[in-house]
């Protein structure tokens, strides 16, 4: 039985991970760090946190594995600097603290095209996060790189929603790596990677998530 920490539980993919983890008999407990309370569940521990001031010695850091689906948009964050905090700094701090308390596996929801050398800010941020996560020293690290994500978001992302609709219309004509990936499939791969904790660094490109 595995104790899994989840950060990003209120997002599209994070919600799917939470549902799957709570239903999975291999998961003993889910520790979901959020700003606002989640719906209670017997297997759920839901510490309310400020990601700008994470407590370093809380007992709930002692988990077996971490799934990170934290992410935002520049429009929602308000600036590139604020976006970088959410998509790079917060995942890194969670990774360091959980590893320090004994976590052995980390599964990160990155993005298609992640590249620390990219000229595109979004892709570069994801790439730098991947690079820096590798330096934390997890025995098992999985980097999941979906393209467009299919599902119903609680927050409005008009440009992304339009891109998803267009991609779904032309889906049969697109190479697999550019097809829309359902959030449930991404969540499945993230959770199973965390539970398997296979040694090494593993990159799952968008085409293998379908």
Region 151-174 average pLDDT: 50
Long-range CB pairs of 165-171, under 8 A, 24+ apart, other chains included: none
> Which pLDDT score, from 0 to 100, does residue 174 have?
52
Q: Which domain covers residue 124, as residue numbers?
A: 2-209
CATH number at residue 98: 3.40.50.720
Query: pTM for the whole thing?
Result: 0.89
> Which pLDDT score, from 0 to 100, does residue 166 have?
46
* pLDDT at residue 167 tops 60: no
pLDDT band, very low/low/confident/very high, at 91 (cuts 50, 70, 90):
very high
**What is the residue-wise DSSP string for 24-92?**
-TTEEEEEEEBSSPPPP-TTEE--B--TTS--TT-GGG--SEEEE-----HHHHSSHHHHHIIIIIHHH
State the total domains in the chain. 1
């Amino acid at each position: 039985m595995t104790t899994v920490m989840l950060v990003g539980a209120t997002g599209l993919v994070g919600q799917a991970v939470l549902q799957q983890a709570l239903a999975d008999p291999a998961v003993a407990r889910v520790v979901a760090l959020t700003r606002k309370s989640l719906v209670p569940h017997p297997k759920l521990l839901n510490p309310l946190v400020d990601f700008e001031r994470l407590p370093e010695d809380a007992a709930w850091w002692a988990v077996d594995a971490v799934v990170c689906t934290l992410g935002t948009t520049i429009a929602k964050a308000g600036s590139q600097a604020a976006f970088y905090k959410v998509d790079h700094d917060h995942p890194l701090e969670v990774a360091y603290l959980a590893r320090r308390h004994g976590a052995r596996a980390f599964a990160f929801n990155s993005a298609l095209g992640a590249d620390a050398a990219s000229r595109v800010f979004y892709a570069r941020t994801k790439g730098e996060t991947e690079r820096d996560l590798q330096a934390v020293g997890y025995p098992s690290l999985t980097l999941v790189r979906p393209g467009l994500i299919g599902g119903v978001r609680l927050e409005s992302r008009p440009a992304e929603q339009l891109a998803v609709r267009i991609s779904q219309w032309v889906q049969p004509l697109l190479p697999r790596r550019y097809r829309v990936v359902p959030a449930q499939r991404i969540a499945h791969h993230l959770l199973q990677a965390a539970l398997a904790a296979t040694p090494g660094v593993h990159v799952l490109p968008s085409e293998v998530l379908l």
